[in-house]
Each structure stands twice: as structure tokens, then as C-alpha cells.
Amino acid sequence: MAEVIIRYNHVDIHQSSGLILSDVTFEIEKGEFVYLIGRTGSGKTSLLKTLYADVPVKTGEATICGFDMTNIRKRDIPLLRRKLGIVFQDFQLLNDRTVAQNLEFVLRATGWENKDTIAARIDEVMTEVGVPDKGGKMPYQLSGGEQQRVVIARALMNNPPVIIADEPTANLDPETAADIMNLLIRINREHDTAVLMATHNYQVIERYPAKIFNCQNGTIIVERGIVLK
């Protein structure tokens, strides 16, 4: 039986503006690939923020990688976030540091100390995402596709069981977007990493069909789709 690593049961999601999504119920199993779709303002980003405890869960039941999100302690939030690889649409790389220094920052912030071990892990992950020779570059010296590969590398540094990708192809040309999708799918398959990807790109969904969570009418509708495997 597949391991459920994210479970929401009758969750209401609130922001300062009020109720955003109600009665949210879904499960994500280990190794699943799931799209999160919906119109702008439908609640996709608010849902993603609850996953990494940027927006609290106050009603219903929610567990992520063993953490009870309705009762999570502030001191445990960094531990939760080590289990999640987050890929932001706008990259959010530190432009005053090299690519390698960006990745080192993540490792040191999550408890890595040995310099040689850190260097080896950076080399390993940069090779895996296809930018093995970019460690000495500054982020602004890279193309959009290369920056997104570095962001994915950053998300992978601690071997998380879940990757949350917020519009990872939005600012890329179609060819580069396809490259990034192929990379995410390969990571999903080879590492059995669950991927939850928010997107507006329906061409991507048609080309790489998978389960869909649809933010619609103030809740989440689960559309089974075709499983990527």
C-alpha cells in the first residue's frame, strides 16, 4: 500500500482577507506527481503556503511528512521545511553570491557542517540537474532555464520526499519549459519524490498528464487524470 505523505481532511484556509478555500480534502502519496491548477486568485498560492507553514492551518486535519500542521510548534517549522523542496517562480536566488554559495547557504542553514561533504553534495546535485560547471557563476550571469535548474538543485539539497513547484515554467520559453518539466519528471521517477506543481500552462498538462487538484468554487476538486510513471 502506498505511503501517504500529505493528507488534508476538511481543512479551511484563511488569510488576512478572510476565507480563501473551504473543506479542502486530498491526499498525496509518496512518488506521486500532481498538478495544482485554477484561475488567478483562486487560492493556489494560499494552499501552497499552508504546506510549508507560511499560512497556518486552523481547522480540519492536515499532516505533512509526519507533522501535524494544526498544532505545529514554531521551533519545528525548520524541521518541516527540510522535508520540502520549494521551487519558486521568480527563482529567489541570492544575487550577491555565486551559485555554489547559494547552495552552500541552504546546506549550512539546515545543519551541514563538513566543508568537504558540502562541496561533494553541491557537485552531485548540480551534475544531476545539468549545470555541473556553473558553480562559480553569479545567478544573473545565467539564463532563465539555468537559473531554474539551480533553483531545483537548491530544492534537492536535502533529498526531500516532496517538491513544491510554484509555476516553475511560467517565465521560460516552450523549449526550456519542456527541459524543466523533463527534469522534474525524472527526479519524480528516479527518487520517488512527490511533486506538487502549480501551473497555468495547460500545454504542459496535456503533454505530461497526471493527477490534478483544481482550485475551483472556493475548494479543491480532485481530478484523477493519468498517472505519470
| The pLDDT of residue 74 | 92
Q: Which of 163, 155, 30, 172 is nearest to 102 (CA)?
A: 155
E strand map for the chain: 4-15, 18-29, 33-38, 59-64, 67-68, 84-87, 162-166, 194-198, 211-216, 219-223
Q: Which residue has the higher pLDDT, 220 or 229?
A: 220
| The pLDDT of residue 225 | 60
How confident is residue 91, by pLDDT bands cut at 50, 70 and 90? Answer: confident
State yes or no: pLDDT of 100 exceeds 60. yes
How confident is residue 88, by pLDDT bands cut at 50, 70 and 90? Answer: confident
Q: Using CA atoms in the order 223, 1, 81, 139, what is the torsion angle rounded to 10 degrees?
A: -70
Mean pLDDT of the region 150-162: 93
How confident is residue 49, by pLDDT bands cut at 50, 70 and 90? Answer: very high
> Which amino acid makes up residue 96?
D
Mean pLDDT of the region 187-215: 93
Mean pLDDT of the region 190-200: 94
Residue 12: C-alpha distances to residues 9, 81, 212 (Å):
9, 21, 20
**Where on the phi/psi map is residue 104: left (φ > 0), alpha (ψ -120 to 50), or beta?**
alpha
Does pTM surpass 0.85? yes
What is the rounded average pLDDT for all residues in the chain?
Answer: 91
Mean pLDDT of the region 90-100: 90
State yes or no: pLDDT of 136 exceeds 90. yes
Residue 73: C-alpha distances to residues 80, 158, 186 (Å):
10, 21, 34
| The pLDDT of residue 228 | 52
- The H or E element that residue 180 is part of is helix 174-191
8 Å CB contact between 76 and 64? no
Which cell goes with 83? 522535508
Q: Starting at the edge strand that comes first in sequence, how are the strands of the sheet with 84-87 ordered?
A: 84-87, 162-166, 194-198, 33-38, 211-216, 219-223
| pLDDT above 90 as % of the chain | 76
State yes or no: pLDDT of 229 exceeds 60. no
CA distance 1 to 101: 41
CATH 3.40.50.720 assigned to 32-49+80-223? no
φ, ψ (nearest 5 deg) of residue 141 = -85, -5
State yes or no: pLDDT of 122 exceeds 90. yes
Mean pLDDT of the region 63-86: 93
CB half-sphere exposure, 93, CA atoms < 13 A = 29
Burial environment of residue 60 by CB neighbours within 10 A (0 to 12, 13 to 18, 19 or more): middle
State yes or no: pLDDT of 24 exceeds 90. yes
As beta bridge partners, residue 28 has 6
